[in-house]
Amino acid sequence: MINITSDLKMNRIGLGCMGMSEFYGSSNDNDSLKVMARAVELGVNCFDTADLYGDGHNEKLIGKFLKQSKIKPAVATKCGIVRHKEILPDGNFKRTYNGTTKYITDSCEASLKRLGIECIDLFYLHRPDPNTPIEESVEALAKLKAQGKIKAIGLSEVSADDLVRAQGVHPIDCLQSEYSLWSREVEASILPFCQQNNITFVAFSPLGRGLTKPSIKLETTDFRTNIPRFSAHNMSANRPLFSLIDTIGKQYGASGAQVCLAWLLNQAPNLMAIPGTRHIKYLEQNVLAQNISLTDEELKCLDLAFASEKIQGEKYLVSTSAA
């Protein structure tokens, strides 16, 4: 359990809900609600979403769950990415960024309405706005916190410089960024800064968007079909890495995905992960990963094997950015 604020605690494995609305192929609301129900039974007490996901659908889906569930998880949502109807050559919609006071304030009210709640537990700026000083965005979030509209302030995918400037305006409670064996850029400066300043680090895509086995069948509507790292050539080239996590997993009766999560949770005590899934089977495996204690030798082996220069394939197309 991690103390986000004095009155907000979260378990180290949360539930990323994005895929229940889009990006990862077809989904079913009733099945998603069952996954949410099982999640809270297992002690998962943070659901991660954003106004972007499904153009509001994801927040409404969580709102529906909150209305019917006796157990109420904390809700983390985000604002700051503006969705446009224009579709880019890679199949993704065009997006721009808005971190102005008015936009953040209006977005908070809209999210509260879709979620059907009076206070958002954790509210992130989804991406920094290049045309708005990060100081203005953080001041807007701080005002919402003072008004009781949100409990905790978060930033997502900001630079180390932006994080330092933001922290100078108001203490940041959570920093969310991509982090997994496959993507370790945050280790250089972001993760250490979070540890030094009591900021909870929230890892999204902690399984590298599902890179846990050398063969994945993707629907045509799955955005990963356009990601170089998921090409047949690169999946084959990375086969030794899949073999390694599988071999280590067998020592614990665990899956490769559980090994990846166990490694991640070992990187910092103030770190939590939000793996997404639409399947109860994988949800249960993700939660159980907290019980795996890898040896120092295994951790070192994974560190060396997954050095960035040894991984084949870029994690994004140039025009694609993480959600």
Which CATH number do you get for residue 78? 3.20.20.100
For residue 38, tell me if it sits in a domain. yes
Interval 200-204 mean pLDDT = 98
Of 109-113, 234-238, 288-292, the least confident: 234-238
* pLDDT tens per residue across span 182-191: 899 999 999 9
Q: Is residue 49 part of a domain?
A: yes
**Structure confidence by residue, pLDDT tens digits, 10-35:** 999 999 999 999 766 678 999 999 99
pLDDT score recorded for residue 10: 98
Q: Is residue 259 part of a domain?
A: no
Q: What is the predicted pLDDT for the residue at 236? A: 74
Its pTM stands at: 0.90
What string of DSSP letters covers 200-250? EEEEESTTTTT-SSS-----TTBGGGG-GGGSHHHHHHTHHHHHHHHHHHH
For the beta carbon of residue 216, count every other beta carbon within 10 angstroms.
Answer: 13
Q: What is the pLDDT of residues 217-246, one digit of tens each?
A: 777 777 676 777 777 777 777 788 989 999
pLDDT in tens, 66-75: 999 999 999 9
Q: Is the Cβ–Cβ distance between 147 and 118 less than 8 Å?
A: no
> What is the total count of domains within the chain?
1
Closest CA to 173 of 139, 198, 136: 198
pLDDT of 181 above 80:
yes
Do 153 and 199 contact (CB within 8 A), yes or no? no
Kindly state the helix (H) or strand (E) to which residue 154 belongs, with its residue range.
Answer: strand 150-156
Domain-embedded: residue 294: no
Segment of 77-86, 289-298, 303-312 carrying the highest mean pLDDT: 289-298
In a domain, 152, yes or no: yes
Tokens for 6, please give them: 């004095």
Between residues 195 and 235, which one has the greater pLDDT?
195
Residue 76: phi and psi, rounded to 5, are -110, 120
- Residue appearing with tokens 């090994």: 259
Q: Is residue 297 part of a domain?
A: no
Residue 291 maps to a domain: no
H runs (alpha helix) in the chain: 29-41, 57-68, 101-115, 134-146, 160-169, 190-196, 232-237, 239-250, 256-265, 280-288, 296-305
pLDDT, one tens digit per residue, over 82-105 is: 988 887 776 678 899 999 999 999
Q: By 3-state DSSP, what share of the chain in percent is helix, strand and coil, each rounded to 5?
A: 45, 20, 35
282 is catalytic: no
Q: Looking at 53, 103, 124, 179, which residue is catalytic?
A: 53
Better-scored residue on pLDDT, 313 or 177: 177
Residue 290 placed within a domain = no
Residue 153 backbone phi and psi in degrees, to 5: -105, 130
Instruction: To the nearest 10°, report the CA torsion of 14, 16, 20, 21.
Output: 140
Quote the domain boundaries for residue 186: 2-208+268-278
